[in-house]
Structure 1
Amino acid sequence: MKQAPKTSRRDFIRKSSVLAGALAVSPAILSAACLQPGKKLGIALVGLGGYAGGQLAPALQQTKNCYLAGIVTGTPSKATEWAAKYNIPQKNIYNYQTFDSIADNPDIDIIYVVLPVSMHKEYTIRAARAGKHVICEKPMALNAADCREMIAACKKANRLLSIGYRLHFEPHTQEVMRLGQKQILGKVTEIATGNGFKYTGDPNAWRLKKALAGGGGLMDMGIYAIQGARYTLGQEPLAVRATQEKTRPELFSEVDETVFWELKFPGGQKVTGKSSYNNNWGFLRAKADKGSFELEPAYGYDGLDGKVNGKPMNIPNINQQAAQMDDFATCVRLGKQSRVPGEEGEKDMKVIDAIYRSLDSGKWENIG
Structure 2
Amino acid sequence: MKSRRIFLQKAGLSALALNISTFNPISAMPNFLDAKKMDEKPLRVAIMGLGSYGTRVAEAIQETKRTKLVGVISGTPSKVEAWKTKYGIPAKNCYNYENFDAIKDNPDIDAVYVITPNGLHKDQVIRVAKAGKHAICEKPMAVNAADGQAMIDACKAAGVHLLIGYRMHFEANTLEVIKMRKAGEFGTPLFFQGLSGFIIGDPSQWRLQKSLSGGGAMMDIGIYSINGARYMLGEDPIWVTAQETKNNPEKFKEGIDETIQFQMGFPSGAVASCLSTYSMNNLDRFFLNGTKGWAEMQPSTGYGPIKGKTNQGPLDKPHTTHQAVQMDEMAAIIFDGKKPEVPVNGEEGVKDMKIIDAIFKAVKTGEKVTLKLA
Which residue identity is paired with 1:334?
D
Name the CA distance, whole Å, in 2 between partners of 1:124 and 1:344.
Answer: 16
Partner in structure 2 of residue 191 of structure 1: 192
Partner in structure 1 of residue 317 of structure 2: 315
Partner in structure 1 of residue 364 of structure 2: 360
Partner in structure 2 of residue 5 of structure 1: none
Name the CA distance, whole Å, in 1 between partners of 2:87 and 2:44.
Answer: 13
Which residue identity is paired with 1:234?
G
Partner in structure 2 of residue 48 of structure 1: 50
Q: Which has the higher contact order (CA 8 A, sep 6+)?
A: 1
Partner in structure 2 of residue 267 of structure 1: 268
Which residue identity is paired with 1:177?
I
1:43-62: per-residue Cα shift (whole Å, max 9, x none)?
00011111001x10110110
SS at match of 1:278: coil
- Equivalences for residues 219-258 of structure 1 within 5 A: 219-254=219-254, 255-258=256-259
Q: Give the superposition deviation at 1:39.
A: 2.4
Name the CA distance, whole Å, in 2 between partners of 1:211 and 1:111.
Answer: 23
Q: Give the superposition deviation at 1:179.
A: 2.5
Which residue identity is paired with 2:369?
E
Pick from 285, 288, 293: which aligns with 1:286?
288
Which residue identity is paired with 1:362?
G
Give the aligned CA root-mean-square deviation in angstroms.
1.4
Name the CA distance, whole Å, in 1 between partners of 2:327 and 2:221.
Answer: 21
Which residue identity is paired with 1:350?
K
Q: Give the superposition deviation at 1:311.
A: 2.5
Partner in structure 2 of residue 331 of structure 1: 333
SS at match of 1:318: coil
Report if aligned partners of 2:185, 2:293 keep a CA contact under 8 Å in 1. Answer: no
Q: Give the superposition deviation at 1:317.
A: 1.2
1:178 aligns with 2:182: no
Name the CA distance, whole Å, in 2 between partners of 1:167 and 1:237.
Answer: 19
SS at match of 1:135: strand
Which residue identity is paired with 2:266?
F
Report if aligned partners of 1:181, 1:233 keep a CA contact under 8 Å in 2. Answer: no
Q: Give the superposition deviation at 1:37.
A: 4.5
Could you tell me the TM-score, scaled by structure 1's length? 0.87
Which residue identity is paired with 2:232?
T
Name the CA distance, whole Å, in 2 between partners of 1:331 and 1:190.
Answer: 32
Name the CA distance, whole Å, in 1 between partners of 2:362 and 2:115.
Answer: 29
Q: Give the superposition deviation at 1:183.
A: 2.4
Which residue identity is paired with 1:289?
T
Name the CA distance, whole Å, in 1 between partners of 2:312 and 2:210.
Answer: 41
Partner in structure 1 of residue 302 of structure 2: 300
Q: Stretches of 4+ moved more than 6 A in 1? A: none
Could you say which structure has the larger radius of gyration?
2
Could you tell me the TM-score, scaled by structure 2's length? 0.86
Structure 2, unaligned runs of 5 or more: 1-37
Q: Give the superposition deviation at 1:68.
A: 0.6
SS at match of 2:47: strand
SS at match of 2:46: strand
